[in-house]
Amino acid sequence: ERDTKRSDELKEEVGRMIDEETMVVDDKLELIDAIQQLGIGYHFEKEIKHALDSMFSKLDDLRMETKDNAYIIALLFRLLRGHGFIVSQDIFDQFKDEKGSFKSNLSNQIKSLLSLYEASYLAVEGEDTLNEARDFTIRHLNNFLLDSSDDNCKLRDYVARALEQPLHWRMERLHTRWFIDEYEKEEEMRPHLLEFAKLDFNAVQNTYKRELKEVSRWWFNLGLWEKLPFSRDRLMENYLFTVGWAFEPKLSTLRLAHTKANSFVTAIDDVYDVYGSLGELQLFTEAVDRWNALDIEQLPEYMRICFLALFNATNDIAYEVMKEKGQSGRGGVRREGGAE
């Protein structure tokens, strides 16, 4: 309860930071970027959108003000495009020479290279400038790793991690755990931001623990792991996969439903690929198409168990979705299981 009260206080403070009108654009962009990488951006969607709306409305002016700052331009591009704003790749033309290549003086500006590198991964098909930016930055960032001294070890870590996997490709929660530790070492770290990120991370982890207990109990009581000993038990992996793209606490029902659905997909996949005969599989496919729990006597026992478990779980998931959203999700769960 004490942590909850403190978390609420810090949340208000961070919200005020984002809304601060006097903050210069560079600082505002870095603040938003830090908030997102610390995994707390979902608390401030309205504030962040308002700030980015304001920047987008005066994009031409910002380009002129920061025309020599590739780091800020690339960060601005990445945040705007990441939030769905239509920003042209032409914003980077100012960093090209008369031959159309990126200027050589960028090659030793590591912070700018790293920012441009991350921005390049938000390219869409046919954006040659961003593809060229990626090649250019990868080449020079790799050179930096080869040539840099121990004095640059923190920056080296950032560069090495980025080259291994850009931000746009990372699992958000895993990155958040790493970034919290890194942000704490930053000279310009904002204490209230860090404290809130830590409290929120622990609170979200507690949510995941409760969900895992619930879904593990469901899986154990279901008994498929015992009735289908040939099938893989991938409950934890399926849950972690769902957290990868739906981490927010409010998405608990979705995480549980998707974990259950994927656990069935794994089990049924093994029925098809590992154990069932062709004739049995044809019968099972027809039974799923009919979707009638009273019409499965022709199935072998292990398939009847599998079908009834799928049938009951699908209806349970549909009921939970109906309660929360007012519409059934049954068709989607059935399609994941292999039937239309």
The SS3 of residue 102 is strand
What pLDDT does residue 226 have?
A: 87
Three-state SS sequence of 239-254: HHHHHHHCCCHHHHHH
The tokens describing 94, both together, are: 């100012």
pLDDT tens-place string over residues 302-313: 999 999 999 999
Counted residue by residue, the chain has a size of: 340
How is residue 230 annotated by DSSP? Answer: T
Considering the domain architecture, whether residues 175 and 262 belong to the same structural domain is answered as no
How is residue 150 annotated by DSSP? Answer: G
User: Has residue 227 got a pLDDT over 60?
Assistant: yes
| Better-predicted residue by pLDDT, 144 or 333 | 144
User: Has residue 239 got a pLDDT over 80?
Assistant: yes
Considering the domain architecture, whether residues 147 and 289 belong to the same structural domain is answered as no
Residue 121, domain extent: 1-189
Does 73 map to a domain? yes
Considering the domain architecture, whether residues 142 and 10 belong to the same structural domain is answered as yes
Mean pLDDT computed over 32-59: 97
The SS3 of residue 86 is coil
Does 337 map to a domain? no
Considering the domain architecture, whether residues 44 and 181 belong to the same structural domain is answered as yes
CA–CA gap between residue 229 and residue 74 (Å, rounded): 52
pLDDT tens-place string over residues 248-293: 999 999 999 999 999 999 999 999 999 999 999 999 999 999 999 9
> pLDDT confidence of 193, banded at 50, 70, 90?
very high
Q: Give the CATH number for residue 119.
A: 1.50.10.130
Considering the domain architecture, whether residues 105 and 247 belong to the same structural domain is answered as no
Among 145, 165, 189, the domain boundary falls at 189
> pLDDT confidence of 97, banded at 50, 70, 90?
very high
> pLDDT confidence of 3, banded at 50, 70, 90?
confident
What pLDDT does residue 151 have?
A: 67
Q: Give the CATH number for residue 294.
A: 1.10.600.10
Q: What are phi and psi of 96, to 5 degrees?
A: -105, 155
Does 330 map to a domain? no
The SS3 of residue 96 is strand
Does 238 map to a domain? yes
The fraction of the chain above a pLDDT of 70, given in percent, is 94
Of 214, 180, 203, which is closest to residue 250 (Cα–Cα)? 203
> pLDDT confidence of 180, banded at 50, 70, 90?
very high
> pLDDT confidence of 340, banded at 50, 70, 90?
very low
What pLDDT does residue 330 have?
A: 55
> Cα separations (Å) of 9 from 49, 143, 221?
21, 45, 41
> pLDDT confidence of 147, banded at 50, 70, 90?
confident
> Cα separations (Å) of 83 from 45, 56, 62, 78?
10, 11, 18, 9
User: Has residue 150 got a pLDDT over 70?
Assistant: no
Does 125 map to a domain? yes
β-sheet bridge partners, residue 96? 102
CA dihedral sign of residues 27, 32, 33, 37:
positive
Among 139, 168, 189, the domain boundary falls at 189
Query: What is the pLDDT of the chain when averaged over all its residues?
Result: 92
Mean pLDDT computed over 316-337: 68
pTM here is 0.89
CA–CA gap between residue 113 and residue 163 (Å, rounded): 11
